[in-house]
Structure 1
Amino acid sequence: MRVDNHSRKIIFLINPISGTRNKTDLRKLVLDEALKHGVAAIVLPTVASGDYAFVASRIEEEGFTDVVICGGDGSVNQVVNALRHTGVHFGIIPLGSGNGLAYSANIPKSTPKAIELIFTGKARKTDAYLINDRFACMLVGLGFDAKVAHDFAQQPGRGLLTYTQQSLKNYFTARTWHFEIVVNDHVIQTDAFFISIANSNQFGNQFTIAPKASLNDGLLDIVLVPRMNKAILPFALIQQVNSGKLKPPAEDAPNTIQYFQAAKLQLRNPDLAPMHIDGEPVETEAFLQINILPRCFSLIQPSL
């Protein structure tokens, strides 16, 4: 549904440390744009704990209709998970290191244009998913990319350069982990560099790992990258992404990148491969039940 500015009240949540961008003028930018459109708006800080009960109370008591997250995928995950039950529309001003969900939803990279979209866009129902009892908006990874996420989180600097440095460092020492995947009546045993379970066609920084992924198709896109010669691995990944070809899961393709879709799957992780959720490192688990949450929340996106 198209947003109606006359009846809106917006909370802008600003993450002061996401990404590398200077936040000095952001508060003024969002409040000036709200004033221009005649929309009541306030600015509140994001909180590292993910406890947004104080925001939920203000939504209920003061009738706020929208919550706009000014930050990265980690902040988006926490805020949407905490407030999705309130029925507000969510918006994103992408200021993080990856911004996968925002870019998958065609939200502009330019901060002024992303702010303008909040007042001109359309709220669309968007899928999310659960990993056991943990919430994800756009991407879950086990293995190599999760190891990078864990190392990246320990660095003093943020941004694409730091992430690239950690990716290269980990590439040369990358190992495989054993996984068992139960999906669509298939059981796949594999030793893999990584497994990605995606709701978004963006891996982050506008890099695509699951090109057919959609935010509202009720399906998850699973990419399995098995043990292979690391000299050919980048070329195999590029070929897979460029082809974008979906195939049914195969139990007997040990050295082939697999790309398939499902609404749910079970994953056993006996080697305890590291895990990330929406780019944020999390404690891994030996067993994962993963289920789509169709039409879970409303996200403001460009009007078609």
Structure 2
Amino acid sequence: MRQTDNRKFIFLINPISGTRGKSSLQQLIAQKTSEKGIEFNILPTNAEGNYDFLRSVIEQEGITDIVICGGDGTVSAVMAALQGSPTRVGIIPMGSGNGLAFAARIPKDPVKALDIIFSGKASLIDGFLINGHFSCMLCGIGFDGKVAHEFALEHTRGLQTYVKVSMRNFFTARPYPFRITIPGNRDPGVGASANGGTVSLSVDAFFISVANGDQFGNHFTIAPKASLEDGLLDIVVVKKAGRFSFLLSVIRQVLGGYAVQTSPGAKDRRQVLYFRTPSLEIANPEYAPLHIDGDPAAPSRELSIRIVPKAIWLIQP
């Protein structure tokens, strides 16, 4: 098969992500990629989420691009294996939320997503580590962590199921105690205290979101000012309040109503704390539920989180 610009693809297709069938997608991929004269293979995703084998395959077969056809869980697992690699990564969004794809402005339509991939315009994006576990998009502790755990047990996927689980949890949501420590010696414009010292605060909160991209998924933006490539994490803390105030605060945050703060103070009275930092520590004494890129994760009493700058070459519009 004739190659174009010496590119060689592997398409990874998750057979269970999202709500759409995959046979027509495979036909589309085969047709469009062959038309471009690009050599390719189509492989199923790994049920265990282990993609360590990809590096040796890339080296042995001269693979230039890995294209992930799946949701955020698959995207996160593949990117964890490829962080630091010069291999370009493309996404054809096929999941329930598609948070990273939408944050990168990659459309859900497979034909349009393929057109972006064929253009080959890749740029470096950040990732981050949470207790050593790589994340490319978002982790949540508390309310959205509990939703992720219950959503994973549902027999059907998709936005409708996610909304149902979220509403069920809204009426039973409770705050959790956290202690947040933000190291000093940071630029005051991105969340440091004026003197550059360490900030530490205790807070009861419904949830804490640590965002590399701007959203949960489905264009639901939790950190409207977040960037995939600024070397910073956007932190959103929704504090304890009445249920109606909780809902209004989340809506206001989603609509961009809260400005990014220079620093959260120990006695800050704002309902939502929204700040940026390259790293932080979170004490979680009641083991609030945790998700990483939408997938349920085991909760931890202590969470150490830091940015991994310029981790992945992502093909974007």
Equivalent residue, structure 1, for 2:214: 201
In the alignment, structure 1 residue 243 sits paired with structure 2 residue 257: yes
Equivalent residue, structure 1, for 2:275: 260
Give the superposition deviation at 1:84.
Answer: 2.6
- Once the two structures are superposed, what CA deviation does each residue of 1:262-288 show, in whole Å capped at 9, x if it has no partner? 000011000100000000000010111
CA contact (8 A) 2:54 2:81 kept: no
CA contact (8 A) 1:141 1:194 kept: yes
Taking a change above 3 Å as real, the CA distance of residues 244 and 30 of structure 1, as seen in their structure-2 partners, is farther
Taking a change above 3 Å as real, the CA distance of residues 5 and 104 of structure 1, as seen in their structure-2 partners, is farther
Could you tell which deviates more after superposition, 236-245 or 154-163?
Answer: 236-245
- Once the two structures are superposed, what CA deviation does each residue of 1:118-157 show, in whole Å capped at 9, x if it has no partner? 1024101000000011110010100000100000000100
Could you tell which deviates more after superposition, 218-227 or 43-52?
Answer: 43-52
- Once the two structures are superposed, what CA deviation does each residue of 1:88-111 show, in whole Å capped at 9, x if it has no partner? 100100000110000000001111
Structure 2, unaligned runs of 5 or more: 185-197
CA contact (8 A) 2:84 2:311 kept: no
Give the superposition deviation at 1:295.
Answer: 0.3
Instruction: Please give the TM-score of this superposition, normalised by the length of structure 2.
Output: 0.92
CA contact (8 A) 1:212 1:244 kept: no
Q: Look up the SS of the partner of 1:7 in the other structure.
A: coil
**In structure 2, distance between residues paired with 1:20 and 1:102:** 17
The structure 2 residue matched to 1:284, chosen from 299, 307, 310, is 299
CA contact (8 A) 1:228 1:255 kept: no
Instruction: Please give the TM-score of this superposition, normalised by the length of structure 1.
Output: 0.95
CA contact (8 A) 2:97 2:218 kept: yes
Q: Look up the SS of the partner of 1:127 in the other structure.
A: strand
Q: Look up the SS of the partner of 1:92 in the other structure.
A: strand
Equivalent residue, structure 1, for 2:62: 63
Q: Which amino acid in 2 is paired with 1:103? A: F
Q: Look up the SS of the partner of 1:34 in the other structure.
A: helix
Equivalent residue, structure 2, for 1:134: 133
CA contact (8 A) 2:142 2:208 kept: yes
**In structure 2, distance between residues paired with 1:114 and 1:34:** 12
CA contact (8 A) 1:211 1:244 kept: no
> What is the RMSD computed on CA atoms of the aligned residues?
1.3
Taking a change above 3 Å as real, the CA distance of residues 278 and 194 of structure 1, as seen in their structure-2 partners, is same
Q: Which amino acid in 2 is paired with 1:66? A: D
Aligned length: 299
Give the superposition deviation at 1:249.
Answer: 1.4
The structure 2 residue matched to 1:269, chosen from 264, 279, 284, is 284
- Once the two structures are superposed, what CA deviation does each residue of 1:222-243 show, in whole Å capped at 9, x if it has no partner? 0000100111222222223322
Give the superposition deviation at 1:55.
Answer: 2.8
Equivalent residue, structure 2, for 1:293: 308
Structure 1, unaligned runs of 5 or more: none
Equivalent residue, structure 2, for 1:219: 232
- Once the two structures are superposed, what CA deviation does each residue of 1:16-51 show, in whole Å capped at 9, x if it has no partner? 000001111111111211111111111011012122
Q: Look up the SS of the partner of 1:118 in the other structure.
A: helix
Taking a change above 3 Å as real, the CA distance of residues 229 and 263 of structure 1, as seen in their structure-2 partners, is same
**In structure 1, distance between residues paired with 2:17 and 2:207:** 26
